Structures are given as C-alpha cells and as structure tokens.
Chains A and B, each alone.
Chain A
Amino acid sequence: MTVWYYRMCGLNVASEIALAGALSRCDAGTNEVSIRRGSILHALEATPSRRQYLLRIPDVGRFLIKGGQEITFDLDAGADERDAVVYMLGSAFGILLHQRGHLVLHASAVAVGSGVVIFCGPSRAGKSTLAAALVRQGYPFITDDVCHIGFDRARPIVFADGRMLKLWDETVENLALGARRGERVLSWAEKFYILPERETDESPRQLVAIYILREGNEAPRQGIEQLSMVEAAALLRQNAYQPQLLSMMDLERQYFLDTMHLVLHTPVFYLTRSLDFTLVPQVVRELEAHWRELGLTHHARSEDSDVRVGAVVANHSQQ
C-alpha cells in the first residue's frame, strides 16, 4: 500500500490517501499522525472528547479522530476523494490539533520579516483574500484556515499548515492570480489551489501581531485599532477553530490560559475595512505602514492601563 508523508501544522503525517494541496514532505517513519482508510461502524456513537471524535460529513463520509494521533476515514459510496481530503485537512485536522491540546485559531497568516502576522475572522471575512494579496506582494504564505500556535519558551510561534492557499475563483480573478491557479479544491465549488511562487519555509516563526478582521460598515471607523487584553482574549476565544469543541473536549481552561499567554506577548488589533476588492491594495499599504510603525518587534503589554479603578472594565460577550 502506498503511504504519503507530509508536514502539516507542525506535525509529521503519514497518509494512506494522497493529500491534494499539500506542500511539504517529511521522512518516512517519523510520523506523529496517521491517516488511514478503514470501516467505521454505522452504529458507532462517540461522545466528542480528546480520546475520540466522530465527524460526519453528509455525502462525503465519516472520520474517526483518535487521541490527537490518528484519523480513520470511511468514505460514502460515490464520494469524491478530493472532497474528503478537504474535510480531512480542515475540520478533522483541526479537531486532531484540539485533541492534542494545541491552540488552534481560525485564521490566515503570512510571514513578515522574521515573524508572522495572523488574520482572524469567520468564513467569508476575507482572511484568504488578504493573505493572497500579501503573498502577491512577496510575503511568504503560512496558512489560510487552520492556524496552529505553539509556545517556544513562552513566546508564541506559528506553524505553517503545509497546504497551498485556496481561493474562490472571483478572488483569483480580482487579484490577477490566474497564472497560478492550480487544481479545483472541491468537486462542487469554484475554489482553487494557488501554486506557490517559492518553496515553503517550514520552520515555525514568532507570532508578532494578530488582526481581527471586521467589515467597514460594522464599525464607526475604519483602520487599525489595538484591543485591550480582555477584548483580545474574548475575541481569540471566539476565533478558536470550531470553538464549540473547547467545552466538548474539556479544553476551556487550557485554551483560556494559552490565550492569556498570547495576549501578554502579542498585540491584538481590529482591522476594519471594506470588503470591496478594489480597496485591497489600500489595506495592504495600511498594514505595511503599521508593520513599519511596530518595527515588527516583540511587544510586551504589561503597560496597558485603559482601566477604571475598582470597576469591571469590560464585559465582552461571545456571540
């Protein structure tokens, strides 16, 4: 049986299915995660946990994710393997990272200098478009969906997800990336892999800034605005990869403490802008000016003092 070896989200993966869109390889026999074909009993009921999680995708198949180490997949008759791979590397891999107790955000990321900046937001918030526009300006691509953050001696670091950027056809056209359009991501959607311009650099890099994406008409003013620690922590909880998994897997405490480490070491900003494609270059220029201003250096945040004496300074609800 053929086995493929990949490097994804900082983990070495051995897979019995070729993973379309994967960029980097690891050596055989060094895998920390196995992806296997297998039959999963239809009657199987698994309470979601760090030990096991049963993911069902209608018309695609079922994925049993165990112990943060193994994904067994059982495809429905007639399912397109390409579609299965997308769910495998999105949802299933995100669940696996949670099972390992890692901090996982729903975010895109690019490298800037020796560090990484990330962009959080729900689907359709423009994460991939912004990453693509920055990649087009020469910033190395890190991820557009699953963002695994680790800690190296308390400093937050980001692992590349090891897959190609994925863009809707409309975005490919608008950013003039047609020459780099690769295969279709899903059988049923106009979404395509974007072939990388350069070889990916797998080494984890320090996280230097986090932007929470907002659409311009949701806020009184556009631009970049730094968040208080409480707001930042609440928004990072909201932007966890599938945040409902945290309570299911008894990870709330771990995630809370990890996000506190994150906001202590990394500034978090709102980036409020219009989703209009014609304004993307302007947003890129604004970000570049902000990075010059930051010097892309490590920002300790202990000096923040936007608090009132003896008062609850913020009550940030999750939606």
Chain B
Amino acid sequence: MSGLELSSQITRNNELLYATVGEELVMMSTEQGNYYGLDPVGRRIWEIIGEPRTVSDICAVLQMDYCVPAATCEAEVLAFVKELVEHRVVHVVAN
C-alpha cells in the first residue's frame, strides 16, 4: 500500500462493527476477530470517510477542526490512513 497519496480515495471497511465509547471509537473485525480503538482524531476521520473521500479532503476537514499546519496534517494523516489500510479498517477505492 505504499502507493497511498493525497489524491487516493478511501472509504470504510463496512464489514467492521463499531461503536463510539466516550470520545473513542472501538471497532471489531468479525472476519479476523481483531479489535481496534481510535482516539478522537481517528474517530473524526472515520466519520469523514462515511462516503469515499480523498486524503486531501480529510486533511481539509481536519484543518478546520484542529489548528494544525497543512504539511504536518497531511504527513500524519497519510501515515495514519496507511496504518488503517494495512489493518483493513479502510479500503482504497481509487488512487
């Protein structure tokens, strides 16, 4: 998944079960039996990608929510989304 770019469009893996608990989001993959927890920023990203969105789109929304420089936001979101893709929490629908 090294091909993940700002223009990559991603969406949720709809096979996952998820629930918000306080500020966090807890997810379970029934297929693999794995559990995942997302902190408030991760949870916000999960909300944004209810419909397919590009990494740039996600960053644009996060920059409105949080005071963070664009370059930092993009680097961190790319790394985070890459991790989500590796865990099959999200899918890349188009590059």
Contact = CB atoms under 8 A, between A and B. Distances in A.
Contact of A313 (B17, B34, B39, B79): B39
Contact of B77 (A228, A260, A310, A317): A310
B70 to A, nearest CB: 15
B22 A301 contact: yes
A264 B33 contact: no
Contact of B39 (A231, A301, A302, A311): A311
B34 A315 contact: yes
Contacts of B71: none
Interface in A305-319: 305, 307-318
B26 interface: yes
Interface stretch (B5-13, B47-55, B80-88): B80-88
A257 interface: yes
B1 interface: no
Interface string A276-319: 00000000000000000000000001111101111111111110
Given A229-B26, A233-B28, A310 B21 contact: no
Contact of B35 (A237, A247, A307, A310): A237
Nearest to A302: B22
B24 A312 contact: no
Contact of B83 (A230, A234, A309, A312): A312
A257 B17 CA distance: 9
Contacts of A263: 21
Given A229-B24, A233-B28, A257 B19 contact: yes
B80 A230 contact: no
A139 interface: no
Given A229-B37, A315-B34, A252 B17 contact: yes
Contact of B28 (A256, A264, A302, A312): A256
A124 interface: no
Q: Which of B28, B35, B45, B87 has the most CB of A within 10 A?
A: B35
B26 A230 contact: yes
B22 A264 contact: yes
A173 to B, nearest CB: 39
Contacts of B37: 228-230, 307, 312-314
A310 B80 contact: yes
A303 to B, nearest CB: 8
A314 to B, nearest CB: 5
A228 B83 CA distance: 20
B30 A247 contact: yes
Interface in A168-197: none
A253 interface: yes
Nearest to A247: B30
Given A229-B21, A233-B28, 17 more contacts: A234-B35, A237-B33, A257-B17, A257-B19, A260-B26, A301-B21, A302-B21, A302-B23, A307-B37, A307-B39, A310-B76, A311-B39, A311-B80, A312-B42, A313-B36, A318-B33, A318-B34
6 contacts: A229-B24, A230-B24, A252-B30, A260-B26, A312-B83, A312-B84
The 7 closest A-B pairs by CB, nearest first: A302-B22, A230-B37, A318-B33, A307-B39, A234-B35, A260-B19, A313-B37
